[in-house]
Amino acid sequence: MAQHEIEVILTRELASYLATAVFVVDPEGELIYYNEPAERLLGTRFDETGPMAMSDWTSMFSATDENDQPLKAEQLPLVAALQYGRPQHERFRIRGLDGGRRLIEVTAIPLLGQAGRFVGAAALFWEAGEP
């Protein structure tokens, strides 16, 4: 496992105790971890996917808008939080690796360490009810 800033390590540790789905990435967008509640929504265990590059996780779950139009990677909240360094919230559909289609809401935040160091980003997400 690569060396990560302490703030990212602590975010991963916190995520492991939460009942909210959490997805954590480093400053380059590499997936570091997602927790058990996220596993249920993504349709696969983190132990099965492991860390992965942003180009892989942004395409893996076939994100679409609510009208089933494909989303570009830069439209995903976590990518926006990485690129622009500010929180982002969106509602969209994904196809889990178990084949299930889910409408989710995602709030992504940049992770800033002490002295304002950018150390990564995290997304909190949950299954949304139909409008």
pLDDT digits (tens, 9 = 90+) for 38-68: 999 999 999 999 999 999 999 999 999 989 9
Does residue 22 form part of some domain? yes
**Identity at 13, one-letter amino acid code:** E
pLDDT at position 2 is 62
Consecutive sets of 10 residues in the chain, 131 residues long: mean pLDDT of each? 81 97 97 97 96 95 94 96 96 95 97 93 91 52
pLDDT at position 61 is 93
Mean pLDDT of the chain: 94
Does residue 53 form part of some domain? yes
Does residue 48 form part of some domain? yes
Write out the residue range of the structural domain in which residue 68 sits: 6-113
pLDDT at position 131 is 52
pLDDT at position 3 is 73
Q: How far apart are CA 13 and CA 33, in angstroms?
A: 10
Tokens of 26: 């480093």
Helix, strand, or coil (residue 130):
coil
Q: At 77, which CATH number?
A: 3.30.450.20
Tokens of 82: 């990485």
pLDDT at position 97 is 94
Edge-first strand listing for the sheet containing 88-95? 31-34, 21-25, 118-127, 101-112, 88-95
**Residues 97, 44: contact at Cβ < 8 Å?**
yes
pLDDT at position 130 is 61
